[in-house]
Amino acid sequence: MFVFPKRYKTLLWFSLGFILISFLLRSVFLIWQLNDLDLSFIKLIRIIFTGLFFDLGVLSFLWVIVSFYLFIIPKKWVGSIPDKTVTLFGTGLVTLIFTFTFFAEITFWEEFHCRFNFVAVDYLIYTYEVVKNINESYPLVILIPSILALVAFIFILFAKNKVFQDTFSGKSDFKTKALIFSGSLLVCLFYSFFIKNNQAEWSENRYNNEISKAGIYSFFSEFRNNKLDYASFYETITEEEAFTIIRQDLSRINSQFICQKECIKRNITDTVPENHPNVVFVLMESMSADFMRSFGNNGNLTQNLDSLAQKGLFLTNLFATGNRTVRGMEAVTLSIPPTPGQSIVKRPNNSNLYTVANVFKDKNYQCNFFYGGDGYFDNMNAFYGGNGFDIYDRGRGSILNDEIKTTRHIITDEEVTFENAWGICDEDIYNKMIKVADKSYQDKKPFFNFVMTTSNHRPYTYPEGKIDIPSGTGREGAVKYSDFAIGEMFRKIQNKPWFKNTVFVFIADHCASSAGKDEIDVKNYHIPAIIYGNGIIQPEKCQTLCSQVDIFPTLFGQLHWNYTSNFFGNDVKANDYQSRALIATYLKLGLLKPNHEVLVLSNKKNCHQYMWNAETNGLEMEKVDPKFKKETIAWYETADYLFNNNLLK
């Protein structure tokens, strides 16, 4: 029977401690989501042992590093000052990292209800916003000392049980060290090349799958694989068939395709004279539909939005395409289904695309993009600056690419009354927008002002004394303040000379949460959309199922514009509009139909079809309809094809 030498005692104790704490963390998540899990004794055992399997995968990487060190260090150096320094420092560092990671997993689960994914990888890039957000959202004066105290406790525990003493006094022969290192290397290579993170997704219940994973393993898996090749991971049909289906779906009485085959570019015409008002477009952070009284909320959080809903075109059955801000930006700006992996907003080669700015510029509009933080975050400045917008942001030193020909304006400290990790408060960004609108009016230039808000975001802080909910106490206060800021904006502009000739569009970027037990939690994609223009837009409640990609084509339809479209969206109010909604995570790609049927494409080259119960928000699996499957594939395959072949121009 093989017995590990004492020299490996620190590594063995650390590994056992990691497995124990990981099991406790998994138990916390089990209790946390108990009501959402699909549990039986067998499934519980599978969750635990699948989790253990991936925990061992994490440890295999650590074992390779440590066993390699123990393999190469000469016997005479064992227990020396350099050996003790490396061992103690390394143990302390790894313990600190792993302890911090376990704490981070809890906070990440609170926000996203999943293990680390590509969002966590993204956050490594934007350290300023993330670190500041953590500092404002959590009591670091308690959290950091707690982490350090736990690390110190582990060291004391090791010392009391003579773990370090045995490690420094233990000897092992060359053959044993070589055996342990080679075995660790083989296991590590096995996990690296043959075990993928999605192999933990064995259940139809999403929470079962997420709890089965290991956070650190998930993180490095996403770090390596957050860009997905559509054809490699998803079911496909021929390009010709995919575009035939989509062109049929996009075909309208008032549109004519101006290209052949693998293309969707078409001319949209209207017989009514065009109207050219100014347009203020507000993409609201995390504004779920169920925050509004119009959708049954009794918290009186959105008095101004509810009032506007009664006065404008209110799209009551509109769904977001994704669960991140960049997905909302992609959907409204490019009018395109979400492609798997990263949003186009964050991809290379995303400048000079055909966006809504092209339509506005053809009508001689000035196009401006407003963001209250540093537009370097999520690549916003590069995307909007490279696609026809002038930029207004805080700009803490980051610069635009020299190849991007646009004008950038910095929002100065004197223009800011309140600011948190994500940017200036909504009142301040609206005030800046108003100043720019005044200047455009003076220059006799119609304007299209695109505003991205930030206040409805953790840490949920905003100026004190504005509403009856204290700042920083939770989501409801942030929602109510965001709505309050809209009311203040209208109060300030109602007597402006340009106000009566301006249309306002309010739509959410995504819901406050999209997490649920199913592959795609349909209800948590439901967002409000309002097009308001006094005397320009006729008030109406439109209950047609539609998508975020339809918002600008619908606006253009309301204004009776003739324009060239390279968009997947269409005018919801057109008599021949074909109803559907595109909803997706960064891996799962779904299509929702008016009869509540949902088809979800998986990155495992398969798909599932469900019937969505809107009352319970549950999905009941159905037999896959081949026609529905092909239609769903066509939406996403064509979108991926057009971008990758540089045809979104």
Do 443 and 554 belong together in one domain? yes
User: Helix 41-72 crosses helix 9-32 at what angle (to 10 degrees)?
Assistant: 150
Could you say which of 544, 577, 610 is where a domain stops? 577
> Does the structure show a pLDDT above 90 at 232?
no
Q: What are phi and psi of 222, to 5 degrees?
A: -70, -35
Q: Hey, what amino acid is at 1?
A: M
> Does the structure show a pLDDT above 60 at 1?
no
Do 30 and 122 belong together in one domain? yes
Let me know if residue 454 belongs to a domain.
yes
Let me know if residue 589 belongs to a domain.
no
The tokens describing 92, both together, are: 């302390």
Do 35 and 131 belong together in one domain? yes
Do 448 and 323 belong together in one domain? yes
Do 118 and 193 belong together in one domain? yes
Task: Summarize pLDDT for 450-490 with one digit per residue, the tens.
Answer: 999 999 998 999 999 999 999 999 999 999 999 999 999 99
Mean local confidence (pLDDT), 223-235: 76
Mean local confidence (pLDDT), 389-412: 76
Query: What is d(CA 429, CA 411) in angstroms, rounded to the nearest whole number?
Result: 9
Q: What is the structure's pLDDT at 127? A: 61
Query: What is d(CA 173, CA 178) in angstroms, rounded to the nearest whole number?
Result: 9
Kind and range of the H or E run holding 583: strand 581-584
Pick 385 or 587 by higher pLDDT.
Answer: 385
184 alpha carbon, distance to own chain's centre:
36
Task: Summarize pLDDT for 331-381 with one digit per residue, the tens.
Answer: 999 999 998 888 999 988 899 999 999 999 999 999 999 999 998 888 899
Task: Summarize pLDDT for 12-22 with one digit per residue, the tens.
Answer: 999 999 999 99
Do 185 and 288 belong together in one domain? no
Q: Which of 72-76, 140-144, 470-474 has the highest mean pLDDT?
A: 470-474
Least confident among 201-205, 419-423, 514-518: 514-518
The tokens describing 596, both together, are: 């509540």
Q: In this structure, are residues 217 and 58 in contact, taking their beta carbons and an 8 Å threshold?
A: yes
Do 213 and 292 belong together in one domain? no
The domain total for the chain is 2
| pLDDT band at 397; cut points 50, 70, 90 | very low
Task: Summarize pLDDT for 551-586 with one digit per residue, the tens.
Answer: 999 999 999 999 999 999 999 999 999 999 999 988
Let me know if residue 301 belongs to a domain.
yes
| pLDDT band at 125; cut points 50, 70, 90 | low
Q: What is the structure's pLDDT at 516? A: 72
b/e 99-132 (16+ beta carbons within 10 angstroms → b): bbbbbbbeebbeebbbbbbbbbbbbeebeebbeb
Task: Summarize pLDDT for 39-54 with one digit per residue, the tens.
Answer: 999 999 999 999 999 9
Query: What is d(CA 254, CA 252) in angstroms, rounded to the nearest whole number?
Result: 5
Q: What are phi and psi of 589, to 5 degrees?
A: -120, 115
Q: Hey, what amino acid is at 465?
A: G
Query: What is d(CA 55, CA 43) in angstroms, rounded to the nearest whole number?
Result: 18
Pick 395 or 151 by higher pLDDT.
Answer: 151
Task: Summarize pLDDT for 340-350 with one digit per residue, the tens.
Answer: 888 999 988 89
Q: In this structure, are residues 467 and 298 in contact, taking their beta carbons and an 8 Å threshold?
A: no
Mean local confidence (pLDDT), 97-105: 91
Task: Summarize pLDDT for 279-332 with one digit per residue, the tens.
Answer: 999 999 999 999 999 999 999 999 999 999 999 999 999 999 999 999 999 999
Taking CA atoms, 75 is separated from 36, 72, 85, 175, in Å, by 54, 9, 16, 13
Percent of the chain residues past pLDDT 90, beyond the cut: 78
3-class SS letters over 404-457: CCCCEEECCHHHCCCEECCEECHHHHHHHHHHHHHHHHHCCCCEEEEEECCCCC
* Mean per-residue pLDDT of the chain: 92
Do 207 and 315 belong together in one domain? no
Query: What is d(CA 67, CA 8) in angstroms, rounded to the nearest whole number?
Result: 8
Query: What is d(CA 519, CA 204) in angstroms, rounded to the nearest whole number?
Result: 7
| pLDDT band at 407; cut points 50, 70, 90 | confident
Let me know if residue 232 belongs to a domain.
no
Pick 123 or 55 by higher pLDDT.
Answer: 55
Q: In this structure, are residues 327 and 342 in contact, taking their beta carbons and an 8 Å threshold?
A: no
Q: What is the structure's pLDDT at 400? A: 53
Q: Which residues contact 550 (CB under 8 A, 6 or more apart)?
A: 318, 335, 569, 570, 571, 572
Do 214 and 313 belong together in one domain? no
Let me know if residue 411 belongs to a domain.
yes
Q: What is the structure's pLDDT at 465? A: 95
> Does the structure show a pLDDT above 90 at 513?
no
Mean local confidence (pLDDT), 62-72: 95
* Model pTM above 0.75: yes
Taking CA atoms, 353 is separated from 1, 133, 288, 348, in Å, by 66, 33, 29, 12
Could you say which of 577, 609, 636 is where a domain stops? 577
Q: Hey, what amino acid is at 613?
A: N
Q: Hey, what amino acid is at 438?
A: D
| pLDDT band at 229; cut points 50, 70, 90 | confident
For the domain that residue 422 is a member of, what is the CATH number?
A: 3.40.720.10
Do 27 and 138 belong together in one domain? yes
Do 481 and 336 belong together in one domain? yes
The tokens describing 552, both together, are: 């600008």
Q: What is the structure's pLDDT at 221? A: 84
Let me know if residue 631 belongs to a domain.
no
Task: Summarize pLDDT for 616-626 with one digit per residue, the tens.
Answer: 889 999 999 99
Return contacts of 35-38, CB within 8 angstroms, 24+ apart: 36/205, 36/207, 36/516, 36/517, 37/205, 37/207, 37/208, 37/211, 37/517, 38/203, 38/204, 38/205, 38/208, 38/517
Let me know if residue 238 belongs to a domain.
no
Classified as helix, coil or strand, 218 is: helix
Let me know if residue 329 belongs to a domain.
yes
Could you say which of 553, 577, 601 is where a domain stops? 577
Residue 335: which domain range? 282-577
Do 443 and 538 belong together in one domain? yes
| pLDDT band at 110; cut points 50, 70, 90 | confident
